[in-house]
């Protein structure tokens, strides 16, 4: 797991904060489907509604792919939030596009992957957000099962969990992200989205998200 460009990661994080794609609430945590409590909620789909931010993300994701995955032959988006980003990238690179469902279509061909499947084709997967990596790596496995050669994955933002790094390493999937939790926190503090008093809670969540907040 790596950040594409550490010099521009703070800018990406700042823009996501400005459009409320990233919301921080250390005192009234959000609840995730997993049951975890979290001081952050990230919805990068909002970036699609802001042309300047959308173009910035497209530019950086495209450059990340061109830098790290030179042999790319197709782009695959992960449903649902990775689909629009993937389409934009595929169009910019003039490449085929497919997307991966979270579960097979319930009727018709019952497809898991939508689009033309070409066995052996070298594909880069596009995500908007990586947390533990579970759903992202499931999409990778579905693509591999269909015959694609997965070169790696790009994403807009990651929380930077150690478990995610371990999961991607185990599956031998290179992950390149534009920004992460560590690059976002200084921007949030500088721009006044959180107070200095909030930083201890925000940092402790990153280290132990499954048990946060610890009960006294």
Binding-site residue numbers are 101, 105, 107, 127-135
Q: What are phi and psi of 180, to 5 degrees?
A: -140, 175
- Residues ≥6 apart with Cβ < 8 Å to 74: 90, 95, 96, 97, 98, 118, 121, 122, 123, 124, 148
Q: Are 83 and 45 in contact (CB under 8 A)?
A: no
| Measured distance CA(206)–CA(155) in Å, rounded | 18
Write the DSSP assignment of 103-140 as a string of letters: S--SSTT--SEES---TT-EEEEEEEEESSSHHHHHHH
| Measured distance CA(136)–CA(131) in Å, rounded | 9
Q: Which residues are annotated as a binding site for 5-phospho-alpha-D-ribose 1-diphosphate?
A: 101, 105, 107, 127-135
Residue from 205, 207, 149 nearest 25 by CA: 205
Q: Are 136 and 127 in contact (CB under 8 A)?
A: yes
Q: Which residues are annotated as a binding site for orotate?
A: 131
Return the residue matching tokens 């991607």. 168
The tokens describing 169, both together, are 């390493």
């Amino acid at each position: 797991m790596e950040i594409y460009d550490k010099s521009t990661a703070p800018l990406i994080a700042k823009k996501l904060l400005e459009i409320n794609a990233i919301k921080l609430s250390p005192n009234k945590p959000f609840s995730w489907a997993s049951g975890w409590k979290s001081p952050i909620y990230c919805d990068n789909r909002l970036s699609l509604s802001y042309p300047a931010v959308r173009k910035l993300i497209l530019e950086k994701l495209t450059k990340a792919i061109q830098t790290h995955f030179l042999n790319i032959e197709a782009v695959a988006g992960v449903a649902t939030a990775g689909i629009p980003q993937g389409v934009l990238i595929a169009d910019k690179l003039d490449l085929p596009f497919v997307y991966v469902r979270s579960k097979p279509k319930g009727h018709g061909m019952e497809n898991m992957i939508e689009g033309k499947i070409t066995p052996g084709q070298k594909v880069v997967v596009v995500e908007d957000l990586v947390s533990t990596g579970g759903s992202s790596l499931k999409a990778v496995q579905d693509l591999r099962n269909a015959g694609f050669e997965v070169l790696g994955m790009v994403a807009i933002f990651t929380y930077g969990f150690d478990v995610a790094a371990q999961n991607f390493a185990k599956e031998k999937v290179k992950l390149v992200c534009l920004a992460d939790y560590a690059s976002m926190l200084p921007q949030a503090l500088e721009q006044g989205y959180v107070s200095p008093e909030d930083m201890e809670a925000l940092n402790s969540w990153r280290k132990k998200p499954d048990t946060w907040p610890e009960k006294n």
